[in-house]
Amino acid sequence: MSRPSQPKLNTTDHNGVSVIQSQAHAATSSSSLPVSVAELQQVPQLVPANPSPGGGKALPPSKMKKPPADKDSEEYRQRRERNNLAVKKSRMRSKQKALDTQQRVNELKEENERLEAKIKLLSKELSVLKDLFLEHAHNLADNVQPPAGAEGSSPATNSTSTNGQ
C-alpha cells in the first residue's frame, strides 16, 4: 500500500551507476555469442544451505533477499529484456485506455445532446397539447356551446410552464 520507498533524495537515487556495455547490434555477422563471460559469479549466499533438514520437505520461509543484481549475468540480461517488454506493453495499454476514455467522453457528449434535443421536442409537444386542453376546458366551463364550430375565442392562452427541472 502506498509508497513507503520515497527517498526524497534528488539526483541519482537508486540508479547510481548504470553502465551498459554498448553491444552495437550492427555487425550481426558471425560472432554469435556476444556476451557470456563471467557466469560463475557466485553471490554470497545469505543462507548457508537448505538441504532438507530432518524430514526432507517444505522450504517455505526461504527469506532469501536479493543478491543485488549480477550485472553482466546472462540471466540478468534476460530478465531485463522481459521486463522491458512488459513495460512497453503495459504502457501501450495504458495509453490506449486513455484514448478510449477520451472517446467515451465524446460519445457521451453526443448522446447527451441528442437526449436534450429530444427533451426539448417532447416539452414542446406537451405544452401544445396542454394549451389545447385548457382551451377546451374553458369552453366547457363557460358552457359556451356554439352551434357549429367557433374557434379563436380565447384571448389569453395560458401557457403552462413546462416542468422546471
Residues that bind a copy of itself (CB under 8 A): 6, 8-12, 15-23, 25, 28, 77, 80-81, 84-85, 98, 101-102, 104-105, 108-109, 111-112, 115-116, 118-119, 121-123, 125-126, 129-130, 132-133, 136, 163, 165
Q: Which stretch binds DNA (CB under 7 A): 24-32, 36-44, 77-85, 147-155?
A: 77-85
Nearer to a copy of itself, 46 or 98 (CB): 98
Query: Cell digits for 60?
Result: 517455505
Cα–Cα distance between 117 and 112 in angstroms, integer? 9
Pick from 35, 86, 119, 144: which binds DNA (CB under 7 A)? Answer: 86
If contact means CB under 5 to 8 A according to the sort of partner, which of a copy of itself, DNA, none does residue 150 touch? none
Nearer to a copy of itself, 38 or 140 (CB): 140
Cα–Cα distance between 140 and 134 in angstroms, integer? 10
Nearest in space to 38 (alpha carbons), one of 6, 66, 76, 89: 76
Q: How far is CA 32 from the centre of its chain?
A: 42
Do 126 and 162 form a contact (C-beta atoms < 8 A)?
yes
End-to-end distance of the chain based on CA atoms, in angstroms? 44
Q: Is 57 in the site for DNA (CB under 7 A)?
A: no
If contact means CB under 5 to 8 A according to the sort of partner, which of a copy of itself, DNA, none does residue 88 touch? DNA
